[in-house]
Amino acid sequence: MGTPSIMAIAPSVVGIATGIILLWVVVAVVVGILLRTVGVLFPRLGMFGSVLSHVCEAGPRLALTFDDGPDPVTTRQILKILEEERCIATFFVVGEKVVEHPELLREMVAAGHGLGLHGFHHDRLHALQPTAFATRDILQVRAAVEAACGLRPRWFRPPVGHASPATFRAAEETGVEIVTWSARGLDGIRGAEPSSVLRRVARRLKPGGIVMLHDASEKGDFVPASVSVLAEIIRLARSRGLTWVTLDELTGVQSLEAGQQAGVDSEAAGSVTTKRAPSS
């Protein structure tokens, strides 16, 4: 057998090199997609921007937050428990529900609770949408809140808590800050066991924490488990020496500004701090 000629070896070397390069490209693309997915699912990792999930140096205080309302039945149940327990919270509201029940927002504000935005349609794929969509959605829910109570919230919790680079760009364009949580009860799932919601939250009650529960189910078709364990969660934190405050108080940021829409009552905006119920 003779020695292979240079002409025979060259094509196979080129083929192997091309194969290796292609393999690396595929690996890089897959790793990129995985990293991006992790960043979207867990925005608190800060891969695409900063989010508020807890506050260091907050002292023995923590914030109670609710998503997916307002709902004429279950939000009222939550508001009643908060009143009975003399506790204040921050409600992340859904725009289309605000349009249907603007009076509930006014009740929240009158009781001294804080407000945040949670998307207009509660689109579960919000984080996969382009920046223009996310921007429009934030502007829509903010306009609904302004029309309802004359206030413009700065906090924004994306639906299902996912945030992509487009979500961060939209937040920057609209001047809102993305908020997630340090503890969540998974109480907004149909059939969630109140005892497991309580156990889950109890393990995560920490100074500077942001607890996320639901004052309504996503479709308004069942009562979230939070309703039956809220009083216990409130008392449990207090028994550990923790005080419930709004997100504004936890962060030291006055997030609610007077709205820009016609007919806005600037006195209503000013009353947010003065009407706040005593809390601990």
| Residue positions annotated with a catalytic role | 67, 214
CB 68 to Zn ion: min, Å:
4
With CB under 5 A as the rule, give the number of residues binding Zn ion.
2
Which residue, 65 or 246, is less far from Zn ion as judged by CB?
Answer: 65
Which residue, 124 or 240, is less far from Zn ion as judged by CB?
Answer: 124
Binding pattern to Zn ion, positions 20-59, x when CB under 5 A? ----------------------------------------
User: Looking at beta carbons, which residue is closest to Zn ion?
Assistant: 67
Which residue, 112 or 119, is less far from Zn ion as judged by CB?
Answer: 119
Residues 52-91 touching Zn ion, rule: CB under 5 A, are: 67-68
CB 14 to Zn ion: min, Å:
54
Which residue, 68 or 137, is less far from Zn ion as judged by CB?
Answer: 68
CB 155 to Zn ion: min, Å:
14
Q: Is 137 in the site for Zn ion (CB under 5 A)?
A: no
CA distance 168 to 164: 7
CB 219 to Zn ion: min, Å:
11
Q: Is 177 in the site for Zn ion (CB under 5 A)?
A: no
What residues line the site for Zn ion (CB under 5 A)?
A: 67-68
